[in-house]
Amino acid sequence: MKMSLNLCSSSSETTLCSFKGFGPVAKDFRRICYYSCRKESIRVPNTSIHKALVSGSLIPEQLEGTYVRQKRFKEVVPKLGLVRTLLIDNYDSYTYNIYQELSVVNKLPPVVIHNDAWSLEELLYHIYEEKAFDNVVISPGPGSPTCPEDIGICLRLLLECQDIPILGVCLGHQALGYVHGGHIVHAPEPVHGRLSEIEHSGGPLFDGIPSARNSSFKVVRYHSLVIDAESLPKDIIPIAWASSSETHPFLESSNSVVIPSANGSIKSRHLHINGSSTMQKTANTGSSVNANEKKEKIIMGIMHSTSPHYGLQFHPESVATCHGRQLFENFRDITLEYWGRARSSYPNWEVDYHTAQVFHGNPPLRVNRRAIPASRVDLLNCPVANDQNSAHSRITKSLKLQWRKFDQLACKVGGAKSIFCQLFGSGTAKNTFWLDSSSVEKKRARFSFMGGQGGSLWKQLSYRQIDDSTKNGGHLLIEDALGSTSDLYLHDGFFDFLNKELLSLQYDENDYEGLPFDFHGGYIGYIGYNLKLECGMASNHHKSETPDACFFFADKLVVVDHYLDDVYIISIDEKTSTNTTWLDDIERKLLSLKATADTEIREQSPRLTTLSPMEAGFIAEKSREQYTKDVDCCMKYITDGESYELCYTTQLKKHIGNMDLLGLYLDLRERNPSPYAAWLNFSKESLTICCSSPERFLRLNRCGELEAKPIKGTIARGGNPAEDEQLRMQLQHSEKDQAENLMIVDLLRNDLGQVCEPGSVHVPKLMDVESYATVHTMVSTIRGKKRSDISPVECVRAAFPGGSMTGAPKLRSMEILDSLEGSARGIYSGCIGFFSYNQTFDLNIVIRTIVMHNGEASIGAGGAIVSLSNPESEYEEMLLKARAPANVVLECQKAGLQSDMPTQS
């Protein structure tokens, strides 16, 4: 007996969720319908059943007979191997990985649209009247194909366009089975970020790909739902399977290796015992899967018996899927062969070939259609539009850079800590910044940037979103070097303002020739998590108490090169200025610093405590019981297919009163040195940030290369070398932590894929373990070449917030997290760093951070929830991450690090 799961309605009246164009839709029905409807889902407690029919109001029978395109699509024949793909995005966070693959394979970038961007009439017009596409790919996505808000136009597309090649991935695969009568059921267990060995029956989609146990064909799966094999209609033919009980971590043993190819996919990951690498070769003869074996397997691939429609339950675009690009190449070849056969039957065709870059036409069937630009159609779904022309039309500053270098000076004057404390740390160090590479071992970071209130170009920006949680826009308070303030209302939000400001600056590249670093002055500060509202989120559930963004425009700074021990001083002024007063003054101060200053700053407090945050006096927003209950809720969302991974967090707070906040930061950087640490003091906001983050969010260097370094997977250090190594290896080979990391790597590849040159996104390091003072962490590196028509701020906006702090798919995951978390994350989970006037930037992820605001210290902490999570273990991991900063606060209070001055005045 199969038990029905109503994933699309909170009541028994299923007509409320009927498909657009086929029945009534509730007036308040929104994309996040799962908040109400998932609560009423019936889950199957009996693990021997493992099946529950997922039924929505849209059943295949309602769509039968709607196929109106009886003519064969005869007028389009791809030329010269160029294939034009329409890529339909189901609001997923892996769609642009498919985009990158198709751009290389097709030799043209596909056109990307959301599944609700076009009406059916528009879709058919572009396919049949404009003849704009040769094939269609339907992306993965959260939810179920039974829910209209999850699948959009895709079901109708599959029925109306039976005469063009279509490939569905994951959710698209399920849609192909469902629309023809198959049932969507819960998988035996959710599988996200884990690998399975695939057996297939051969055929054109799997041409050249091995099929057998212990072959090199292992794929990445991200799904909780599957097509019920027993319900398959005669028109749908299964062509690939995976074991229902066997999955694999990416690194299965100490003999496994990672070999990312230039295109970002994994070619092989096997070693002989003696260490020599091999590539397993298996002839593509297909796999003979008998009837009894099929019952124990999950369908991983299907095809339609008469239409060129295919589905893959796994993710060929994942970095860890073997032969992923071959699958896309095979689908391209299927497309070419399909139209080649059609052309031979109609030799008198006149081909009207429009490339994806010159997509045009106005469908006559709908007046208020969404505008499609005449060019850059491949960016239809990019988070922001390029606004360089409007920015350059409001040029306000032409800058001149002056700098001086002091060879091997840093160690002579006590290092970066001594330089900052003596030059900028007097009193409460108000309106100061320090991007502090306090951990430089293994070349994790090289430069530190520091400064305070500077010259005539200095200013401070404080931005707060409006109270309406569903609208962009907010108030920007600007204070200039003379103390004058102005308040602007930004209709289009902070990212738009920052983009225009940076693009309005003119400079001469010759000014910074010879400088080995990328920050030459510009904006330095933070972007808070709530600015996700400007990055595709529909709303913010909570309002932040701190500003949503704060920046200084730094026109004077000191730079320390930790590799070579050099010190630089930098000044930017108006182009006409010849003033060197600041450079002369800071040079004199630098050269007069004492070599012993580092030990004279203050006596270090002893290392006293390793208490839990609550034992250190912090009050947790969530009790242990509530936290574990929320983790369990996250896991249920994952089971129902709403997310692959949810980064659930909470806040811990403590009243601190007056305290030597700079002393607090110095203790934090000593106890928990990190490559992307930071000190920021915004005195007018009574706000000080002490950050010891080990994670880079995103960097753009002057060569146009983007780099992200997400962290997922954390474990405490051991008490002795043997225990420490054992714990490191435990993390390295943890299936759960590998799954967490892989999901975020694929998400960051997607984010970079939106703004990078096709084929340039790659993963030079996957799942490396890095060791810090208190924890081991699993870190990956993703890189890509920025497209020339994309601005730096657009790159950040495409990837913000960092995927390691949201989960995947990003938008749906953030919606779920907003509904569960009790308050705004504020600065935590955002990013700190710089936007240089020369169009480079470097930003961290705000974790391992103490935020002091109005006499209260707050620490955010959490972890990634996946299907393999244990609620109690997740709670303990949250405490582990908060322990080091919480104990620093306690120790500073015990040591009596009190100040007679107001805390942050």
Residue type for position 176: L
Which of 24, 90, 12, 18 minimizes the C-alpha distance to 61? 18
The whole-angstrom separation of Cα 709 and Cα 690 is 21
Token pair of 216 as six digits: 């090199």
| Inter-residue contact 391 to 537 (CB < 8 Å) | no
| Inter-residue contact 112 to 85 (CB < 8 Å) | no
CA dihedral 684, 690, 693, 696 (to 10 degrees): 20
Token pair of 595 as six digits: 């070599």
The whole-angstrom separation of Cα 897 and Cα 666 is 12
Residue 4 CA to its chain's centroid (Å): 34
**What is the number of residues in the chain?**
905
Token pair of 780 as six digits: 């990956």
Token pair of 583 as six digits: 């450079």
Torsion 207-315-310-197 (CA) sign: positive
Token pair of 210 as six digits: 């091995």
Beta pairing class for 549-554 and 297-304: unpaired
Residue type for position 801: P
Which of 1, 314, 65, 350 minimizes the C-alpha distance to 172? 314
Residues near 371 by Cβ (< 8 Å), separated by ≥ 6?
A: none
The whole-angstrom separation of Cα 182 and Cα 168 is 15
**Crossing angle of helices 792-799 and 494-503, rounded to 10°:** 160
The whole-angstrom separation of Cα 547 and Cα 550 is 7
**Crossing angle of helices 871-894 and 624-639, rounded to 10°:** 140
Alpha helix ranges (H) inside 22-88: 34-37, 60-63
At CA 703, angle to CA 700 and CA 705, rounded to 5?
45
Element housing 799 (H / E): helix 792-799
Can the peptide bond before residue 809 be classed as cis, meaning omega within 30 degrees of 0? yes
The whole-angstrom separation of Cα 895 and Cα 609 is 12
Report residue 770: phi and psi, to 5°.
-110, 145
The whole-angstrom separation of Cα 125 and Cα 128 is 5
Torsion 633-639-640-646 (CA) sign: positive
The whole-angstrom separation of Cα 807 and Cα 826 is 18
Give the DSSP letter of residue 371: P
Residue 810: strand, helix, or coil: helix
Long-range contacts of residues 280-285, Cβ cutoff 8 Å, at least 24 apart: 280/210, 280/214, 280/215, 280/216, 281/210, 281/216, 282/210, 282/211, 282/212, 282/215, 282/216, 282/217, 283/210, 284/202, 284/206, 284/207, 284/208, 284/209, 284/210, 284/211, 285/202, 285/211
Beta pairing class for 135-138 and 166-169: parallel
DSSP 183-201: PEEEEEEEEEEEEEEEEE-
Beta pairing class for 309-312 and 297-304: antiparallel
Give the DSSP letter of residue 869: -
Residues involved in catalysis: 170, 315, 317
